Amino acid sequence: MDKKKIAEIIENFAPLSLAEEWDCSGWLVKVSGTSDVQKVMICLTVTDDVVQQARENGCDMIVSHHPLFFVPFEYKDINIYCAHTNLDRTSGGTTDELIKILGLSDYVMSGIEQHPFVRYVECPLTVRDFTERLSRMSQNLRVVNNKNIFDIKKIAFCAGSGSEFIGDAVKNGADAFVTGDIKFHTAVESPIVLFDMGHFESEIPVLNVFLKLLRYEVQIVFAKEKSPFKSF
């Protein structure tokens, strides 16, 4: 398949117009003189190891979620494309896929004030039960519950690093917020329950989106990735 067609399929689902101004979504490396792609490696983050995996697996192209703001010269021999904040914002994208994996898609709310990166789910749960559900996806789960809340009803979600949106979650009546990369002082000051799944754990489900978009067009290979943080 022509690599431009692969990019077109992704952009039809997650238009580049949705990307933040500072973002680098789109082509990171576009190798000249080659257009046909038979095998694509999909990954969360392009690293030296992922590029080496792509080469060893005979991949013609890498499709990632995270962008590279600086592309090493050593990567210039393989096509690399990313869908970042445009994939976060589009319907069915990063956070929506996380909610789907958690089995909560039927409870997504509509008709309330919307935020481009935050989704809301209304589903009565105890903090303990929801913690157990999340812990099955993330061994690095951290929970903040300053008010000793027992029951939650409205849950805000932002996969990746979304702690800056906690205020929006509170404003929209959320009892809890699921995201990653929560800092100490943010946790101390939170009036609602916070679930920090970890950046990697909350976003890795988005590879399923790439798979659904491209699986009938090219051969897909999943990169072997893991969180840099370890639990003991």
**Along the 232 residues of the chain, how does pLDDT read in single tens digits?**
999 999 999 999 999 999 999 999 999 999 998 899 999 999 999 999 999 999 999 999 999 999 999 999 999 999 999 999 999 999 999 999 999 999 999 999 987 667 899 999 999 999 999 999 999 999 999 999 999 999 999 999 999 999 999 999 999 999 999 999 999 999 999 999 999 999 999 999 999 999 999 999 999 999 999 999 987 7
The answer to whether residue 229 is domain-embedded is no
Q: Do residues 46 and 96 lie in contact, with contact meaning Cβ atoms separated by under 8 Å?
A: no
Q: Tokens standing for 185?
A: 């002082």
Sheet-wide strand order for 61-64: 26-29, 79-82, 61-64, 39-43, 219-222
Predicted confidence at residue 112, as pLDDT, reads: 64
- Rounded to two decimals, what is the model's pTM? 0.96
The answer to whether residue 231 is domain-embedded is no
Report the CATH number at residue 58. Answer: 3.40.1390.30
The answer to whether residue 54 is domain-embedded is yes
100 and 198 co-located in one domain: yes
73 and 150 co-located in one domain: no
Looking at the 3D structure of the chain, how many domains does it have? 2
118 and 56 co-located in one domain: no
Please state at what angle helix 207-214 crosses helix 3-13, rounded to 10 degrees: 120
The answer to whether residue 104 is domain-embedded is yes
Residue 179 domain boundaries: 94-202
Predicted confidence at residue 33, as pLDDT, reads: 86
Measured CA to CA, the distance from residue 32 to residue 104 in angstroms comes to 44
Measured CA to CA, the distance from residue 60 to residue 68 in angstroms comes to 18
Measured CA to CA, the distance from residue 137 to residue 97 in angstroms comes to 13
The H-assigned helical ranges of 41-84 are: 48-56
What contacts 143, CB < 8 A, 6 or more positions away? 127, 131, 193, 194, 195, 196
73 and 61 co-located in one domain: yes
98 and 190 co-located in one domain: yes
Per DSSP, what are the bridge partners of residue 154? 122
Measured CA to CA, the distance from residue 198 to residue 138 in angstroms comes to 7
